[in-house]
Amino acid sequence: MFIDTHTHLDAGQFSGDIDNVIQEALDAKVRIMMMPNVDETTVEGMMAIHETWPDHCLPMIGIHPTSVKKNYQSQLDFVRDEAATGKYYAIGEIGIDLYWDTSLRKEQEHCFREQIALAGALGLPINIHSRESIDLCIGHVEEMKSIFPNLTGIFHCFTGSLEQARRIRRIDGFLMGIGGVITFKNSNLREVIRQVPIEALVLETDAPYLTPHPYRGKRNAPGYIPLIAAEIAKSHNVSIEKVEETTTYNAINLYQIPKELIPE
């Protein structure tokens, strides 16, 4: 089985055929789909999918950095209240985004650290968004890891350098999420990942975004996970089964996915 560690199934692009999208993923052996939250407005839709597909679509809770507002304290209170229900497998999608808007950088950094602290206190992993901010995010994680030694997580949509990959690997319990970018013809990610052990990786789509080749330009979906696995297998000169087995093991351990959800 495969696990998609990051897919926005509640996005509007799926509103007309979400059940078909999930069934196509299952047919492609993608048995578990981890759903990151974006903000207060996305929880209801995400949880509705979880309730319909409770054995396959598993939710996270968090405030995405581009959703951080000036009323961020109330946003953080919302996340804390939701996390306290015990319904969620991770705190995410959280982090820092310096691509779209830098005007609330300090607020983004504060929310990132507060949500990391929440994850550390609850023993949940974090799912990190680090667009144009990967060194900054790594620094915050390194510092918070010294406070919460049990902290684990994924640097979602990793597209960084080999040195950044090595820096992440030095943080015990942290992995890199590899998505469709590795299949792009002009991507440098293949060269980096070739030098990173599969034991440090998990698979993700970030659907409906970042669709892998040869479907680039169309809507992404979790059923495309095998395309990403095949590219990693090619870069490491191993079988796709080896990538499937290793990345699935990594994701199960990180997200603490119950045994009853894992087919024998």
Question: Which string of DSSP letters, residue by residue, matches 54-108?
Answer: TTTEEE-B---GGG--TTHHHHHHHHHHHHTTT--S-EEEEE---SS--TTHHHH
Phi–psi pair at 127, nearest 5 degrees: -120, 115
- Sign of the alpha-carbon dihedral angle for 68, 71, 112, 109: positive
pTM over 0.85: yes
Identify the bridge partners of residue 174 per DSSP, sorted by sequence position: 153
Residue given tokens 């696995």 in the structure block: 229
pLDDT (tens digit, 0 to 9) for every residue of the chain, 264 residues total? 999 999 999 999 999 999 999 999 999 999 999 999 999 999 999 999 999 999 999 999 999 999 999 999 999 999 999 999 999 999 999 999 999 989 999 999 999 999 999 999 999 999 999 999 999 999 999 999 999 999 999 999 999 999 999 999 999 999 999 999 999 999 999 999 999 999 999 999 999 999 999 999 999 999 999 999 999 999 999 999 999 999 999 999 999 999 999 987
Provide the mean pLDDT of the chain: 97
Q: For residue 110, what is the domain's CATH number? A: 3.20.20.140
Domain that holds residue 176: 2-261
Helix-helix angle 18-27:43-52, to 10 degrees: 50
| Number of domains the chain contains | 1
